[in-house]
Every structure is written in C-alpha cells, then in structure tokens.
Amino acid sequence: MISKEIESALNKQIELEGYASYLYLSMASWCDSKGLSGCATFMHRQSDEEREHMLKIFHYMSEVDGRAYAPGISEPPKDWPSVPEMFEEVLKHEQKVTASINFLVDLSIKANDHTTQNFLQWYIQEQREEEALMRDILDKIKLIGDGPQSLYFIDKEIETINKITEKSESA
C-alpha cells in the first residue's frame, strides 16, 4: 500500500505530465499554423509521449492500491515569439519535470518506499533523454542561426529527428 503523501505527490506528477501533453499539443498547433510540419509532427509525438507518462502513473497507482485522479489541467500558451524560444520553453519545462521526479524519488527514499523508488527509475532515464534531446535541438538551432531561411532548415532538422525516432521506436 502506498502512503497518502506519496499518493498525493504522484497525483501532482500526473497533473504535470498532463499539462506537458497539452503544452506540446498547443505547440504543435502553433507550428502547423506557421507551416512547420516537421516541428508540428515532433510536438504531436511529444504530446502523445507525455500522455503515456501520465497514464503510466495512473496504472502504477492502481497496482499499489493508491488512487489516481484525473487532474484539471491549466490552459497552456497558444503563441511563441519564435521557434528557438518555443524549444527553450520545452527545455525549461522538461527541467521542471526532472526536478519533480527527483523530488518524488527523494520522497520515496525518505518513506522507505522501495516500490515507488524502483518505479521512478524509468522516469529518471526518460528525463535524462528528454533534456539531452532538447539541448541537442537547441544546439542545432543555434548552429543554423537566424537568417532568412533558418525556419526552413530548423524544420528540416526536426524532420530528420522525427525519422530517427520513428526508426528507433519501430525497432
């Protein structure tokens, strides 16, 4: 049985993962409106992934006799000043999620809850990969620069990342 403190903290994580899904969905729509199909596809996939993360916690809570709650999710922003600033926001949000996961791990260690601590190891790995990917994208955006064709080249670079990710997911 899971403690009420950890149950509450995991429900807050569910809300954070749900917000991330909505945030990336909003970003996908914004990218679509700018003709950035590669970026839109990337953000749609990120949104789906965040929803999976949320559901994974939902299922875990049932397994440990806890209770997951469907959160009310705040409306995310609808517009961004630029593609680089949008990806900067993604990195900041992923860092916030990482901090939250680290808090949950610390809480589970303090509570001597080895089951939750073990469950959260997957999220630690996932967050390391997410942050590394966003840093890599931002590095590529910086290399491309902000010339007249920069959006085209950024979108093409993200399309390449999409293709690599699709191949690794199907393998």
Instruction: Locate the domains of the chain by residue range.
Output: 4-170
Handedness of CA 106, 107, 112, 113 (dihedral sign): negative
Rounded to an integer, the average pLDDT of 128-134 is 96
B/e letters for 50-68, b = 16+ CB within 10 Å, e = fewer, are bbebbebbbebbeebebeb
CA distances for 16 relative to 12, 42, 120, 145, angstroms: 6, 20, 15, 32
CATH of domain 4-170: 1.20.1260.10
pLDDT digits (tens, 9 = 90+) for 42-100: 999 999 999 999 999 999 999 999 999 998 999 999 999 999 999 999 999 999 999 99
Among 59-63, 120-124, 129-133, 158-162, the least confident range: 158-162
How far is residue 106's CA from residue 149's CA, in Å, rounded to a whole number? 46
Would you state the pLDDT for residue 165? 80
Q: How many helices (H) and strands (E) does the chain have?
A: 5, 0
Cβ atoms 36, 20 nearer than 8 A: no
Q: How many CA atoms lie within 13 A of 48 on its CB side?
A: 6
Which pair of tokens denotes residue 89? 């926001």
How far is residue 143's CA from residue 138's CA, in Å, rounded to a whole number? 9
Which pair of tokens denotes residue 29? 């729509």
Mutual angle of helices 37-63 and 150-170, in 10-degree steps: 40
Going by pLDDT thresholds of 50, 70 and 90, the confidence category of residue 168 is confident
Residue 162 has pLDDT above 90, yes or no: no
Rounded to an integer, the average pLDDT of 1-23 is 96
What residue has token string 């996939």?
45
pTM tops 0.85:
yes
Going by pLDDT thresholds of 50, 70 and 90, the confidence category of residue 13 is very high
